[in-house]
A and B are shown apart, each in its own frame.
Chain A
C-alpha cells in the first residue's frame, strides 16, 4: 500500500491505527480514552497525530472530567471567550437543536481552523459527539500542508512572506449586548499571522488562512487581498486532501489544528450535541521569520 505507516509496528502494542484516506485521517482502536494515558501511549498518540493530522476513535465514553484530563495530557487547555460550559469552562459545547427542520435558514458550513483569532491559536482539539442526529452531520477535515504543497510555485513564492489579519468578529452575533461585544473586541483585537506557517513540530509549511477568521492580507489592496484569499480558501476545498468522518455517539476526533482545517456539514435536521476541549498552541511563525 502506498500510504506510509510511520512507526506502525512500534505502536501496535499500544493501539491499532487504520489510515482512512491517503492524505490524512486514521482510525485508532484498542484504546480507552476515559482512562489516564501513560507517557508512552500519550507520546505515541502525539506522533500519530502529527503523522495522520486527525485521529478518530469510536465508542468512547469519557465523563466531562475525563475529557478534560485527556486534553490536559497534551497541554494547557483553552477557555473559549464566547462558548463554554459554566461548570466546565474548558469544555466548548456545540449544541445544534435549534436547527431542527429548518436547514434552509441556517448558515452555510465553512472551512476553518479553530481560534486563529488568538495570538496563540490552539494546537489541537479533541471533540466528542454526545448526541447524534438521526442522519447527517459529518465533519470533513482537510490537510492544510497538502493544500500548500499543491499550490503552483508562483503562488507559493508570492505568499511565503505575507501576513494576514485574523479576528473573532464572527462571534459578535452570539453576544446580546454591546458591552459584551466590546469586551470581546478589546480582549481579542485583530491579530497578524503568517499566511504560510511553519509547523512548530514537523517543520512543514502549512496554508494558514481560513474563511472564518482571516479578514485580509496585509499590504495588498482590498480587491487584490480578496482575490488571493478566495484562491487560497478554494485550495482546501479539494476532496483529494480531505477525509469525511461520520459521527456516532461516543465518536471522538482529535485533530492537529495547526495542520488542518475542518467543515461541520449542516445537512441534518435534528439534535446534534458535541463537546470539545482545546489545547493552547504557539504563536505562529512564517518562513521569512525562521532563522
Chain B
C-alpha cells in the first residue's frame, strides 16, 4: 500500500516516467506523449495507474487513432472491463456505454458511477467523439481532499456513518433540461432492476489507503437518519465535495480521453450546450467492495445476496 503524503496534493510525482501536467490545485492532470491502446507495455500501464490514483482524473488529448475496439483494448489493459448493470451496451461494442446527449441534456448532477451496487467500478474511461463548439464541459471532484478538509466534528460524524445508495433516485433533477418523456425513458432503462446498497460514507482507498467521502446523487438516505435529516446532511457533504477548490473543469475536444478513479471522485456534466451534439463513449473497469475505516465492507440490500445467487444459477 502506498500512502501519499505531500504538501502539494496534485503535484506530479518526481519519479513518474510520464509527461504529466497537473490541471487544478487538488485534482486532475493531463498526460502527454502517450498513445492509448491495447498494446501498451506493462511499465506504461503501471505508470498510468499510479498517475490515476494520485491525480484522480487524468486526461489524454488527440487520441485520434482510438475507435471502439481500441478503447476496449486499452480498457482491458487497465483492468477488467464490465458493462453497465442495467443500460444496454453501445451498438457494435462489447461493453461500452453510449452517452449521446443530442437533445441537450446530460447527467448534470454530482455522482460516482454505479454506487448502487456493492462492487461498483474502480475506474471509467471516457472518450469524446462529438463535442459542442461551446459548452458541455465535465467537472470532477476530489473526495479525498473533501474528507481531509472536513472540520473534526463532521469527520467524527461521517467516520462511522453508512448510506443507502439506489438507482431508483430522482432522475428529473439528475438530468436537468431533459423533457419528461426522456426522463421516464431513462428511469425505465436505468432502474429496470432496482438496486440498493449500503456503503460507508468514508471509503478507505484499496490502493492508496486514503480516506474518501463516498456520497453523490445515488444516496437515498443515511442509515439511522430520517429522510429530511438525510437530505440536509447530504447537502452539507455534497457542498464540501463539490466546492471549486476540490474540483477540476475539463473543456473537451474531440478525441480526448478522460480516465477517473471512481473510488475517490465524483463528477458531473454541464448541461449548457443547447441542442449541439455531444457524444462520448465510456468503458468501465470493475471494482472491489468498499472497505470502511473499521474494516467492514459494503453490503447489498436489494437484491440481497441470496436473490443474487439464485438469479445466477
Query: Which residues of A come within 8 Å of B, CB atoms?
Result: 1-3, 19-23, 101, 103-104, 108-109, 133-138, 140, 239-241, 244, 263, 265-269
CA distance A244 to B28 in the complex (A): 14
Which of A1, A3, A136 has the most chain B CB atoms closer than 10 A to its own CB?
A: A136
B62 at interface, CB cutoff 8 A: no
Q: From residue B190, how far is it (CB to closest CB) to chain A in Å? A: 22
* Cβ B244 vs Cβ A23 within 8 A: no
Q: Identify the closest chain B residue to A133 (Cβ).
A: B25
Given A1-B134, A2-B276, A239-B139; A267-B24 close (CB under 8 Å): yes
Q: Identify the closest chain B residue to A265 (Cβ).
A: B244
| 23 sample A-B contacts, Cβ–Cβ < 8 Å, listed by A number | A2-B134, A2-B274, A3-B134, A22-B274, A101-B8, A103-B245, A134-B8, A135-B8, A135-B25, A136-B24, A136-B245, A138-B244, A239-B139, A239-B270, A240-B108, A240-B270, A240-B272, A244-B244, A244-B249, A266-B245, A267-B25, A267-B26, A267-B246
Which of A109, A137, A140, A239 has the most chain B CB atoms closer than 10 A to its own CB?
A: A239
CA distance A134 to B12 in the complex (A): 11
CA distance A266 to B24 in the complex (A): 10
Kindly count the residue-residue contacts between A and B in the assembled complex, taking CB atoms under 8 Å apart: 80
- Sample of 20 further A-B pairs with CB below 8 A, known A2-B134, A21-B272, A22-B134: A2-B274, A2-B275, A19-B134, A21-B135, A23-B272, A101-B7, A103-B245, A104-B149, A109-B244, A135-B8, A135-B24, A135-B25, A239-B139, A239-B249, A239-B272, A265-B244, A265-B245, A266-B245, A267-B26, A267-B245
Q: Provide the residues of chain B in CB contact with A21, threshold 8 Å.
A: 134-135, 137, 272
* Cβ B25 vs Cβ A268 within 8 A: yes
* Cβ A22 vs Cβ B273 within 8 A: yes
* Cβ B137 vs Cβ A239 within 8 A: yes
* Cβ B137 vs Cβ A135 within 8 A: no
Q: Provide the residues of chain A in CB contact with B249, threshold 8 Å.
A: 239, 244
* Cβ B274 vs Cβ A240 within 8 A: no
Q: Identify the closest chain B residue to A18 (Cβ).
A: B134
B243 at interface, CB cutoff 8 A: yes
The 10 A-B pairs with the shortest beta carbon distances in the complex, nearest first, are A136-B25, A267-B25, A267-B245, A22-B135, A240-B272, A265-B244, A1-B133, A244-B249, A22-B272, A101-B7
Q: Identify the closest chain A residue to B108 (Cβ).
A: A240
CA distance A19 to B132 in the complex (A): 13
Binary flags per residue of B158-183, CB closer than 8 Å to A gives 1, else 0: 00000000000000000010000000
CA distance A133 to B7 in the complex (A): 14
CA distance A267 to B142 in the complex (A): 12
B10 at interface, CB cutoff 8 A: yes
B residues 13-69 in Cβ contact with A at 8 Å:
22, 24-26
B207 at interface, CB cutoff 8 A: no
CA distance A269 to B276 in the complex (A): 38
Which of B25, B273, B276 has the most chain A CB atoms closer than 10 A to its own CB?
A: B25
Q: From residue A270, how far is it (CB to closest CB) to chain B in Å? A: 8
Which of B135, B268, B275 has the most chain A CB atoms closer than 10 A to its own CB?
A: B135
Q: Provide the residues of chain A in CB contact with B245, threshold 8 Å.
A: 103, 108-109, 136, 265-267
Q: Provide the residues of chain A in CB contact with B135, threshold 8 Å.
A: 21-22
Mostly helix, strand, loop or mixed at chain A's interface? loop
Q: From residue B224, how far is it (CB to closest CB) to chain A in Å? A: 25
* Cβ A104 vs Cβ B148 within 8 A: yes
Q: From residue A2, how far is it (CB to closest CB) to chain B in Å? A: 5
CA distance A134 to B23 in the complex (A): 11
B144 at interface, CB cutoff 8 A: no
Q: Provide the residues of chain A in CB contact with B134, threshold 8 Å.
A: 1-3, 19-22
Q: From residue A283, how far is it (CB to closest CB) to chain B in Å? A: 31
Q: Provide the residues of chain B in CB contact with A103, threshold 8 Å.
A: 25, 245
B214 at interface, CB cutoff 8 A: no
Q: Provide the residues of chain A in CB contact with B212, threshold 8 Å.
A: none
Binary flags per residue of B240-257, CB closer than 8 Å to A gives 1, else 0: 000111100100000000
* Cβ B137 vs Cβ A108 within 8 A: no
Q: From residue A232, how far is it (CB to closest CB) to chain B in Å? A: 15
Q: Provide the residues of chain A in CB contact with B97, threshold 8 Å.
A: none
* Cβ B25 vs Cβ A137 within 8 A: yes
CA distance A282 to B134 in the complex (A): 33
CA distance A138 to B26 in the complex (A): 12
Q: From residue A6, how far is it (CB to closest CB) to chain B in Å? A: 14
Q: Provide the residues of chain B in CB contact with A138, threshold 8 Å.
A: 24, 244
Given A135-B10, A136-B24, A136-B26; A263-B244 close (CB under 8 Å): yes
Q: From residue A216, how far is it (CB to closest CB) to chain B in Å? A: 21
Binary flags per residue of B178-218, CB closer than 8 Å to A gives 1, else 0: 00000000000000000000000000000000000000000
